[in-house]
C-alpha cells in the first residue's frame, strides 16, 4: 500500500511540475504564436476563434511596427524587455485601476496612463505612434472588460509579460529575416 501511495504521489508531483512548465514557458509561446500567425492555429477552440481573429491582425501589426520603431530609434529590444521585466505588478494594477476610472476618448489617453505607471530607461515616446496607429478604443474597452472579469490576484503579470516578450521576439525574427532579404 505504501508503495502504491508513493507511486501516486510521484506521478502527481510530475504532473504538477509539467503543469508549471506548460503554464510558465509554453503557454506564453502558444499565445504569441496565435497572435502573430497568419491563420489561427488548429488548437485554438472554435468558440473563441472569431474573437481571436478580430484582434490578432491589429495586435500583430502593432507588434511589427513596435519592432520597426525600436530598430529606427536608439532603443534596443533588450531595453524594452528590461522595462517589461521591471514592471511591478502593483504598478500594473494601479494603471488598470486608473484606466477603468478614466473617461478615455482616444488610445493616446490610455498610452499616457500606462506611461505614468510603467517605467523604462528609454524614451517610451517611440512606442506612442505604433500604439495610436494600431490600437483603437474598442480594443482597449475589450481588454479592460476582460481584466474586470478577473479579480486583481487572478491576473498573472508574469504570464502577460512573457506573452508580450514572446510576441516581440517572434516579430523581431520576422524583421531580421525581412531586412536580410533586402
- The model carries a pTM of 0.69
Q: Which of 130, 84, 83 is CA-nearest to residue 107?
A: 130
Rounded Cα–Cα distance for residues 52 and 64 (Å): 18
The end-to-end CA distance of the chain, in Å, is 67
Residue 132 has phi, psi (to 5 degrees) of -65, -30
Q: pLDDT tens track of the chain, all 182 residues?
A: 777 777 777 787 887 787 776 666 666 777 777 777 777 776 666 766 776 777 677 777 778 888 888 888 878 888 888 988 888 888 888 888 899 899 999 999 999 999 998 888 888 888 888 888 878 888 888 888 877 766 555 567 777 788 888 888 888 888 888 888 76
The domain spans of the chain are: 2-181
Amino acid at each position: 500500500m505504501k508503495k502504491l501511495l508513493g507511486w501516486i504521489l510521484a506521478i502527481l508531483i510530475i504532473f504538477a511540475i509539467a503543469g508549471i512548465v506548460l503554464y510558465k514557458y509554453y503557454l506564453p509561446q502558444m499565445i504569441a504564436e496565435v497572435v502573430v500567425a497568419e491563420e489561427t492555429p488548429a488548437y485554438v477552440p472554435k468558440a473563441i476563434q472569431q474573437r481571436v481573429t478580430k484582434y490578432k491582425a491589429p495586435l500583430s501589426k502593432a507588434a511589427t511596427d513596435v519592432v520597426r520603431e525600436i530598430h529606427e530609434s536608439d532603443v534596443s529590444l533588450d531595453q524594452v524587455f528590461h522595462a517589461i521585466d521591471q514592471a511591478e505588478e502593483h504598478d500594473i494594477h494601479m494603471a488598470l485601476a486608473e484606466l477603468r476610472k478614466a473617461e478615455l476618448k482616444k488610445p493616446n489617453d490610455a498610452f499616457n496612463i500606462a506611461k505614468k505607471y510603467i517605467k523604462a530607461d528609454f524614451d517610451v515616446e517611440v512606442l506612442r505612434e505604433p500604439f495610436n496607429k494600431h490600437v483603437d478604443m474598442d480594443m482597449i474597452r475589450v481588454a479592460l472588460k476582460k481584466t474586470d472579469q478577473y479579480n486583481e490576484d487572478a491576473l498573472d503579470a508574469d504570464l502577460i509579460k512573457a506573452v508580450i516578450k514572446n510576441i516581440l521576439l517572434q516579430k523581431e525574427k520576422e524583421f531580421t529575416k525581412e531586412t536580410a532579404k533586402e
